Structures are given as structure tokens and as C-alpha cells.
Amino acid sequence: MIFYSLQEMMIMLLAAIVIDWIVGDPKRLPHPVIAIGRLTAYLERRLLPREAKRFNGALMTLAVIATSFFAMWGATALAAWIHPWFGYAAQTWFISTTIAIRGLKDAAMLVYDRLMLEDLPGARQYTGYIVGRDTRELDESEVSRATVETVSENIVDAVISPLFFAWLGAAPLAMLYRAANTLDSMVGYRNDRYLRFGWASARLDDVLNWIPARLTGLLLVIVSALYRPSSPSRSFKAIVAFARLHPSPNSGIPESAVAGALGIQLGGTNRYGEVVSERAKMGWATRSLRRQDIVHAVRLLYGVGILVAGGLLCAVCGYSL
């Protein structure tokens, strides 16, 4: 195992954030998360039809996260063996692939752009790419709500959690987290198909996101103090009042923080095919949801990224003095 100094780790994390801001998810380069998704889909086809679904689901979860961790450990160790600077570059690049600030922003803004063009069917279509609910009958307010909720929840998954685990264990541990999160997004559903098979993946994702979700809530309160028209006091109060009402032990924190900061109400009725799900409402509706709230949510997302990057930069500079 390769160990890095505190300063080296901070520099790599800062560089990874900047790379994600500039490059995002390059379309022409192989992406580790795509490989994780393909491995998950392959194992699902083999294991889901069998009996003992809980055991098989747990086996798949273990196989995917172990493969992701050790493959990344081998790749970065080989890069460092070739040359230390090559090792730094490999670590930084792979960490950047576990972050998705720009990708999340781009996906949300595709919805916003369709709404600005008064193309509601197109906005529904792009919303369907980033949420699991049925979007075919959503009006503009509900499209905006779905998009804001996705941006809010994914501040944990796409920003803070991968950086948190990269801080603890560089690219291999960050990729282990990304594998767990990918598993949850593919099989961690509470429906007839995945309730037992995806149980281990869903619970692992909950455990790994527990600390990062609470860090995200704190960061969103801080960012809302710096970005107008958001309200830091209302953001904090919303976390206290509403976060525990969410079915996820983690997702309610960023969702309620953003709802409180913007003075809107998230949650409500979602449709998943023929299934209607009533989610607890988050925040106080000081006004109705509108398309501009997508932009506000994206700015809060970037605010969290800038706050973390700024903290890392200050720490690196202070460490060097």
C-alpha cells in the first residue's frame, strides 16, 4: 500500500476537483464507473435468478467492491512503481473520476435549458435520465422539484463522499465508495425485484454515506450564508425539522438543507410505474417552485465544491509556510 503525506493528499484532492470542473466525464476515455456498472450488470444476470437472493446480493456486493478496490490499488501501485510522479498523476486522475460536480451540473442544466425553451416534453425526458420516478406526466413545477432533489441528494454522492474516502485511502478507497454507490443506484430499490437482492448494496451505501451526508449538511448551511437569496438559519432549521422524515438516513439532510436555504418545499408524491410513493415534505414553502430553482441548486452544489477546494488550498498554503 502506498502512503502519502497530508500535504500530498490535499494537493491531489484539490487537483482532482479542478480536473472534474474542467474535464467532467470525458466521452472518449474509458471511465472506471462504466466498468463497475458493467460488472454489476453481469453479476446481476448470473445471481438474481437464483434462490437465496439476500446471500447472492451480498456476494455480488462484496465481489464488486473488492474488485474495484484491488484493481485500483494495482493500477496506482504500478503507476507509482514506474515513477512517483506518474503515481501522483494516476491517483489524481482516478480520484477525479469518482467526483461528478460538472456532470451533475450539466445534467441539471439540460433540464433547465429545455424549460427555458418552453419544451416541457424535452425537460421531462432529460429529467428521466437523472431520476428513477416516472416523469411522463410531470408539470414544470414537478420537473423542477425532481431536478432540485436530485442535485441536492447527489451533493453527497458526487462530491463529499468520494472526497472523504479519497482523503482516507486515496483512489482505491474512493473507487470502493463509487462502486458501492453504483451498486445502490442499480439494485438498491425497495421493489419486488430488488428488495432482498439489493439489500446489502443499499445498506452498505447508507453506512458509507452516514458521515459525509452530515458534513454536507454543515457545508450547505455555510454556503447558504454566502449565496443570496438563500438563508443559512432556515437551512439549518430545515435539517433539524425534516431530515429524519426522509426514508433514507442520509438523503434527507442535503434535501432539507437545500429546501430550507431556498425557501421551497421538496418531497411529495412520486410515481414509479404503477406504484405511487408519498415522500415526506421537506422545508417550508415560502413560494412556489420554479425553473430558476434548478440554477439555485446548481450554485449551491458549486458553492460546496468551491468551499472544499478553497479549504484545501488554504491548508496546502498554510502547510507550506
pTM, to two decimals: 0.94
Question: Which of helix, strand or coil describes residue 304?
Answer: helix
Q: Residue-wise pLDDT tens for the chain (321 aa)?
A: 568 888 999 999 999 999 999 988 777 667 899 999 999 999 999 998 888 889 999 999 999 999 999 999 999 999 999 999 999 999 999 999 999 999 999 999 999 999 999 999 999 999 999 998 889 889 999 999 999 999 999 999 999 999 999 999 999 999 999 999 999 999 988 777 888 999 999 999 999 999 999 999 999 999 999 988 889 999 999 999 999 999 899 999 999 999 999 999 999 888 877 777 788 899 999 999 999 999 999 999 999 999 999 999 999 988 766
Residue 132 φ then ψ, to 5°? -90, -15
Owner of C-alpha cell 502519502:
4
Domain ranges of the chain: 6-320
Owner of C-alpha cell 430550507:
260
Grid coordinates in use for 222? 455555510
Residue 269 φ then ψ, to 5°? -90, 125
Taking CB atoms within 8 Å and a gap of at least 24, the contacts of 221-226 are 221/257, 221/261, 222/307, 223/300, 223/303, 223/304, 223/307, 224/257, 224/261, 224/300, 226/303
